[in-house]
Structure 1
Amino acid sequence: MTHGTQPGPAASGTPTAPAAPGRLSPAEARALFRAGLVTPTAGYSDGYAQANLLIVPKAQAFDVLLFAQRNPKACPVLGVLDAGETSSELLAGGDIRTDVPRYTVYEDGVLVDSPTDLGAVWREDLVTFILGCSFSFEAALREGDVPVAHIEQGVNVPMFRTNRACAPAGSMSGPLVVSMRPIPASQVADAVRITSRYPAVHGAPVHVGDPEALGIEDLSRPDFGDPVQIAAGTVPVFWACGVTPQAAVMQSKPALAIGHAPGHMLITDLKNSALQLP
């Protein structure tokens, strides 16, 4: 039994974006990405948790785990795949090497490739960290009638490096990265209340208002993702972002690290309701 409408393939054999991505089951969404659909995943598979990735050699894995433990707001761990593992209950029947729309590959801290699968770089010593993503609480925001600008505008969420340093761990250090959503001033308290119930996917905002307090000079020039139109009467609200580990990779320069392309997440089989505090 399916839970959404599968789009037909384009002439080239690559599937087209579905008309109602929120109605797709996680397995259906992952199948589209495995078949070659490349798109930001905001608005996909309503009710299911989306996740950030960081994949490193086993020799680096303890430092990443310790970095996540010391920076839980930015790096909430949903699961870990042991060296060489490619699937788990978080993506039943899936494959971590193919089921994300686009990946990032870093060598010595430098982005060298953005492939749509990891077949060319996969190694049996690679450990995968699956980290909570703020896309997961966006459905709750919308259900609470709080607008989500990047979904309404059809673009990727804007993300920014900040002047806040994360707690270092072993070889890992770097700045906090945040995602930004402009929220109507009258609904900021609602946004804080709603998202605070989801600590496993970044939880409440880390900052509300003046971007310069975070060292952000221009909201129209995000470091990752796309700019959004900021309507009059809205306030920029900033949440910790799961691109933070990739910023740490850029600063710490491990020999090899792999992540998701910003905004192109792993859609898991974990229901958002399981992550919500009572």
Structure 2
Amino acid sequence: MQAAADPRLPRYEQIREHLRRRIFAGEWAPGAALPAETELAKEYEVALGTMRKAIELMVDDGLIERLHGKGTFVRGELQQASMFRFFRFRRDADDASPVVPHTVIHALQEATLDDRVAERLSLGRARRGIFILRSRELPEGSGLLERIWLPYPPFRELLKLQPKDMPDLLYPFYRSRCGVVIARASETIRFATLGRDDAALMGMAKGAPVAVIERTAFSLTGEPVEFRITQGDAAKFYYNVEIK
């Protein structure tokens, strides 16, 4: 098979670009296994070493991943991305079972994105976007308050929905409704105090300490497609990481 790419590029980069196009066209879905490198080398009529270089570049791009003893796979949807992994909500001090919050959508609307959000989403002068304000409520008040910004073109289908139709888990919904797969995300954590309006939405006192998680989520193609700011009660903040 001939890889339709810039002929001035090294052969392995041409193959990398052609394989990327095949993935983006849906030939291999997120989580699907790619053919063995020997099969791909035969298909593209190149040496195995050339194919391995192309695959290694795609691994570095974050588009595919190697699983030892299993093969090479298109990177699947981001897993274990819930903000609740940062917090511990319990019914009371003696009850170890977690509480599952109820989601309330306060806003789902088209918006003009400000400079900071546009920069996070790499939008340049294109400032048309979608804004979601939602709380994850507990019996005693809001567990989390989230502001979410999305670029308009890939997510415009969301504006056809009523707020009550928005699910708790957004990433699977982005995939099924808008065809956008969230493959990875970067997060920063800081602490702040609540302003009056957010305190009212969260059922907390103005000036109460909160943990603030800022997340930029990226699609399979590496484009930033969601910027999210989540606030939660600092007293319930809990973070655990294994370092090797």
Question: TM-score, normalising length from structure 1?
Answer: 0.25
Higher helix share: 2
Give the number of the structure with larger relative contact order, counting CA–CA contacts within 8 Å between residues 6 or more apart: 1
Higher strand share: 2
